[in-house]
Structure formats: C-alpha cells, structure tokens
C-alpha cells in the first residue's frame, strides 16, 4: 500500500463537498450507516453527507482558528474513516465491500468478454468465486511501520507545521494538521514528527510549500521495526544553495537529532535526501546517511529481513505475516515448481516460500529493494533464489523465454495500485507453464480490474492474448489497514 501522504493529497476523497466542515460530534446510527452504504466504495462521501447534510465546503479557508478537537476529528475522518467503529464492525464493513467488488468484477467479465466464471467450490450467492472470511489484523492500533509527514501551513497559519493534509490544492484550502491522535500511527512516529517540527521552527530556512515559490524543508518519512529501531528520512529542496550551504544544513539536522533536543527520539538511522521532484528514488537522488546504521532489520516468518530507505515493505508487519502465509497456502508450491515473484519488493514472499519451491525468481523495479532481497537470501542461507532489478514488463518476457515450458511455474503478483503493465499480463497469459497465479491487490478496481479481465478473457489475437484464459477460483481479504476502508485482497487464478 502507498504512503499516507499519497493517500491524502491525491485520491478523490479530498474532492468531496463538505470535507472541511464536518461536525466533531458522533453521528447517530454510525454502524448501520456504514453497513448499509460502505460497499459503494465512497466512505468519505457517506460520512460527510451524514455529518453535515446540505452544507457546502468553502473554496478558501478564510479563517482556520486554533487546533482544537474538531480539526483532529476532521483529519481522523479522512485518514481513518472507520475509526469510530469497533474493530468487529470495521471487518463487517470491509467484507461487504470486498463482496461487492467481486460481484462487480463478475459483471465486468460477462459484459466485456462474455466470460462466465465458475468454480466447483461452494460460494456466496452472486459471486464468481469462493470468498473466504476476512483475516483480521493481529495489531489494531499504531500498526504502521512507515509514515510520511508533510510540511505546510497549520490551522494557526504557521507554514512550519508537520502533519497530514486536509483540503485540496485545487481549491487552495490545504491545511496541515498534526497527526499524533490518529489511531494507525505509533507514538514513535508522532514523536519524531513533533521534533522535526521543532527543528523547522528553529531554522532560519523556509519550508518548501510549492516548488516554484522557493523554500527548502519538505517531508519527513519515519520507519520502525518491531524491535523499536527507528529510521528518519528528511527531504530537502536544495534550490540554489551551494554545496557548502547544504553541508551546514545537514550538519544542523545531525546535531539536532544526535546531541540536541531531537536526541530523545533515539534514532537508529538518520537520512537526508536532496530532492527537486515530488518523489525521488535513490538512483535519482541518493539517500545520504547522516548518522547511525544504513538499514533496519525485521524478523518475519523465521527470516531476518533487511530494509533500506527506499525499499517497499508492507506497512503492517504483523498483518504482513498473515498475508504472506495466506499467499503461500494458495500457491501450492512444491519441489517441482518454480515460484515467480513479480513486484517482489524486498523479496519476502519468495524467500519465505523458497523452502518449498525448486527455484524462486523475483522481479522488482527498486534497485535498493533487490539488494536487500539478495542480502536477506545470503544471510539466511537461501541458495535457490534469483532477484532481478528493473521494470517487470522488460524483464519478465525474456525471463519466461529462458525457462521454456518444461517446468511448472507458479506466479505471484503484488503490484502497486496502478496494477500490472499490459506486457506483464500478456507474458503471464501466454506462458503455458504458468498454471497458477496469485494476484494481490489493495485496490482491486481500476487498472487491476483491467488486468483481471485480460487474464480471464477468451483468446484475443488482436491483443496478443493467445494463452488459455485463467479462471478466478478463490478470494481472501486480509486486513492490513485497521480504521481505514482498505484491505488486501488475495485472488487465486488457475487454468
């Protein structure tokens, strides 16, 4: 799943009317409201409509006022829309939502492809496959191991406020609200954000609110592991500063967090990244280690996992273990199969299942993550894994050609929200050796829906989809994101 900042500033949740004018009171009939309407997929619209019926959101926030309880609740309602419900009720909401998604998927398959997806397994009425009960998260509060905090004007107008966004850039009413009250963020992350704000307010350098307006201080990313070790990554826009001036700022940051007030955060790793873009990879702009260790390490599924600043790792560590075990159960890998791990991140899925497979082949676009996977493989004595750095659409077709059709391949795909590239879907579909595919998605609509349609549609020479179509057999929702409407949906396809 993407960082919170991406969720706050880009998805359509922020474009709905009434978002900035919610009441702080708990509306009546909350659980019934969600259970009846959540499957429509627009949680924020439901909340805002219930809380402030008939109200209109101002295009500009002319008066913001102090940071009181209402601002906190508004932020909580955006970031964690289900926070008012008991966890049991949240799971009911999510299960109903996933059921609706699968029903909609079957209708798409029938409409666009004339496909009737069937399975011999027992299923709920109207579903194209067997839908298992949702697997709950072992940790409900403070579960995030990675948080990204923005810098902008707070409700009091101070531009050096560290938190999460409310409002939209289009309406010019963005407000940055401190997020220490949010249920999904651990205290350690909030503590580092608090001291980053202190650093900014002590600094004579201005924040970078808009690139073309100048300024320097940008977002903060905090990563933690289950042992309590903490990595902080500070993003800084260099603008026209000389290298000597940048050196002074880096030394200021290091001094603050190692010997100054920020030392209370007890950081394991402190990184500094000079970035002139919204998001930079390590290759585009290297992460510079100011102090501490270069990596975090996590114990998961009997493995010691290495995590770099740029590497993808599921944000809920305890929930990730449930997710990976579920994936393993569905793959059915054995000593006669090759496991193909597409968009593998730090390689955890493949490394966990390597003990059962004859070989594991992983593909990941982030080079640092691939280096982490290789380190983890060597450290844990795993010798049957190969990891390839690059875009899956470039690597996968050649990799499958090299394997031929002689050995059975089980594929696992865990792409970002944008789904799989068309050439990846084409390669999977046309490889006769792939009889089983496990597809993992935290956003099972949009491009992911297109991926599934192309995997399951009849042969289509015009689109170069020449292989036997897949059939969707089972679906397992796994909750990695308590208090939010999201969960991971694990889909099993066979042919």
d(CA 237, CA 73): 31
| Token output for 178 | 């401190």
Sort strands 288-292 and 296-300 into parallel, antiparallel or unpaired: unpaired
Q: Any long-range contacts for 175-180 (C-beta under 8 Å, 24+ apart)?
A: 175/20, 175/61, 175/64, 175/71, 176/150, 176/151, 176/152, 177/67, 177/71, 177/72, 177/74, 177/75, 178/67, 178/154, 179/75, 179/79, 179/147, 179/149
Write the burial class of residue 40 (CB in 10 Å: 0-12 exposed, 13-18 middle, 19+ buried): exposed
Q: How far apart are CA 337 and CA 438, in angstroms?
A: 14
Q: Which of 51, 265, 442, 457 is catalytic?
A: 442
Q: Which of 44-72 are b and which e, b meaning 16 or more Cβ less than 10 Å from the residue's Cβ?
A: bbbbbbbbbeeeebeeebeebeebeeebb
- DSSP secondary structure of 96-156: HHHHHHHHHHHHHHHHHH------SS---TT-SSEEPPPBPPS--SS-BSEEEEEEE--TT
Host H or E run for residue 430: helix 422-430
Helix (H/G/I), strand (E/B), else coil: 401: helix
Residue 442: active-site member: yes
In sequence order, what are the residues at sequence separation of 6 or more whose Cβ sits closer than 8 angstroms to the Cβ of residue 245? none
Residue 51 bears catalytic tag: no
Residue 201: count of CB within 10 angstroms of its CB: 13
Q: CA–CA separation, 324 vs 301, rounded Å?
A: 9
Q: Give the number of C-alpha atoms closer than 13 A to the C-alpha of residue 20, restricted to the C-beta side.
A: 24
- Spatial strand order of the sheet with 269-274 comes to 175-177, 161-166, 146-152, 217-224, 230-236, 269-274, 288-292
Q: How many helices and strands (H and E) does the chain possess?
A: 13, 17
Contact 113, 128 (CB under 8 A): no
The closest alpha carbon to 409, from 380, 451, 438, belongs to 438
CB 192 within 8 A of CB 257: no
Residues belonging to the active site: 442, 488
């Amino acid at each position: 799943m993407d960082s919170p900042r991406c969720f706050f500033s880009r998805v359509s949740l922020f474009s709905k009317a009434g978002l900035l004018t919610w009441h702080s009171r708990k509306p009546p009939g909350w659980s019934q409201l969600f259970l009846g309407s959540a499957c429509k997929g627009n949680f924020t619209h439901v909340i805002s409509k219930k809380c402030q019926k008939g109200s209109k959101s101002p295009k500009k926030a002319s008066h913001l006022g102090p940071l009181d309880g209402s601002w906190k609740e508004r932020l909580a309602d955006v970031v964690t829309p289900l926070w008012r419900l008991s966890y049991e009720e949240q799971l009911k909401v999510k299960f109903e939502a996933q059921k609706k998604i699968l029903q909609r998927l079957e209708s798409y398959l029938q409409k666009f492809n004339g496909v009737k997806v069937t399975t011999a397994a027992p299923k709920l009425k109207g579903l194209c496959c067997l839908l298992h009960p949702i697997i709950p998260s072992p940790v409900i509060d403070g579960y995030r191991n990675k948080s990204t905090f923005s810098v902008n004007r707070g409700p009091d107008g101070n531009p050096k406020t560290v938190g999460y966004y409310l409002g939209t850039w289009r309406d010019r009413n963005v407000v940055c609200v401190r997020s220490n009250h949010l249920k999904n963020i651990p205290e350690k992350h909030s503590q580092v954000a608090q001291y980053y704000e202190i650093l900014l307010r002590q600094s004579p350098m201005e924040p970078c609110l808009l690139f073309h307006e100048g300024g320097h201080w940008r977002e903060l990313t905090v990563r933690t592991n289950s042992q309590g070790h903490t990595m902080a990554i500070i993003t800084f826009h260099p603008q026209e500063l000389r290298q000597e001036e940048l050196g002074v700022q880096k030394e200021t940051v290091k001094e603050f967090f190692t010997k100054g007030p920020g030392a209370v955060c007890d950081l394991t790793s402190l990184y500094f990244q000079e970035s002139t873009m919204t998001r930079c990879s390590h290759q585009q702009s290297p992460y510079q280690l100011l102090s501490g260790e270069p990596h975090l390490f996590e114990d998961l599924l009997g493995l010691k996992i290495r995590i770099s600043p740029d590497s993808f790792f599921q944000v809920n560590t305890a929930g990730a273990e449930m997710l990976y075990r579920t994936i393993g159960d569905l793959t059915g890998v054995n000593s006669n199969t090759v496991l193909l791990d597409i968009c593998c991140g730090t390689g955890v899925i493949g490394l966990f299942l390597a003990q059962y497979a004859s070989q594991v082949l992983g593909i990941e676009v982030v080079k640092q993550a691939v280096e982490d996977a290789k380190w983890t493989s060597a450290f844990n004595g795993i010798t049957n894994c190969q990891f390839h750095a690059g875009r899956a659409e470039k690597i996968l077709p050649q990799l499958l050609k090299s394997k031929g059709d002689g050995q059975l391949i089980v594929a696992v795909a865990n792409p970002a929200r944008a789904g799989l590239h068309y050439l990846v879907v084409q390669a999977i579909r046309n490889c006769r050796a792939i009889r089983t595919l496990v597809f993992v998605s935290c956003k099972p609509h949009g491009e992911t829906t297109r991926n599934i349609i192309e995997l399951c549609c009849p042969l289509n020479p015009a689109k170069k989809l020449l292989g036997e179509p897949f059939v969707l057999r089972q679906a397992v929702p796994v909750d990695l994101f308590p208090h939010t409407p999201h969960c991971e949906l694990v889909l099993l396809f066979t042919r």
